[in-house]
Structure 1
C-alpha cells in the first residue's frame, strides 16, 4: 500500500467553506480512480501545536504505485492540484507531499 500525504498552508483569506469544497472535489476523484483505498481530509487538531502553518491536509491510501500514478495523471486531480496551488501561501511552496510505502 502507498500512503499519499499532502499538507497545505492555505492563504489567510481562503475560507473553511472553500477548503471543504476542495476536499469534496478530492473525494469525487476517489470514485473515478481504481486502486484508491480511502481518503481522509481536514484541519489539524493537534494538541502539540507544531503545524508550522500547515493547518490542513489529506491522506490518500492506494493499493500500489500504479494506482498512485493513475491518480496523479487523472485530469480531475490535475485540476484540483491547480486550485490547491492557487490557494496556498507561496503557491507550490505552501504544499508538502510525501508518498510512503506501508506494509498492508
Structure 2
C-alpha cells in the first residue's frame, strides 16, 4: 500500500470558508477517482514549531504505485490542483511538500 501525504502552506488571506471548501472538494475527489482507497484531511498540531508554515494537508492511500500514478494523472486531480490548490498556496509549488511511502 502506498501512503501519499501532501502538506500545504496556504496564502494568509484565505478565509476559513475558502479552506473548508478546498477541504470538502478535495475529499470529493475520492468519489470520482477510484484509485483513492482512503482520504483524510490532516491538520498540524505539533507544539515544536517546526512545520515551516505547512499547516494542513492530505493523507491518501493507494493500493500500489500504479494506482498512485493513475490518481496523479487523473483529469479531475490535475484540474483541481491547477485551478484550486495551486492558486491558494502561499508561493505556488514551493508551498507544497509531498511525502510518499510504501507501507508494506
What TM-score, normalized to structure 2? 0.89
Q: For the residues of structure 1 that align with 2:67 and 2:22, how far apart are their CA atoms?
A: 21
Aligned positions, number = 103
Structure 1 gaps, min length 5: none
Q: For the residues of structure 2 that align with 1:99 and 1:21, how far apart are their CA atoms?
A: 25
Q: For the residues of structure 2 that align with 1:40 and 1:25, how far apart are their CA atoms?
A: 12
Q: For the residues of structure 1 that align with 2:66 and 2:33, how far apart are their CA atoms?
A: 11
Q: For the residues of structure 1 that align with 2:78 and 2:86, how far apart are their CA atoms?
A: 11
In structure 1, the residue matched to 2:9 is: 9
In structure 1, the residue matched to 2:98 is: 97
What CA deviation, in whole Å up to 9, does each residue of 1:18-52 have, x standing for no partner?
12211211211111222322111132122333211
Q: CA deviation at 1:15?
A: 1.5
1:46 and 2:50 matched? no
Q: For the residues of structure 2 that align with 1:2 and 1:12, how far apart are their CA atoms?
A: 31
Contact 1:35–1:64, Cα closer than 8 Å, also in 2: no
Contact 1:22–1:80, Cα closer than 8 Å, also in 2: no
The root-mean-square deviation of aligned C-alpha atoms, in Å, is 1.3
What TM-score, normalized to structure 1? 0.89
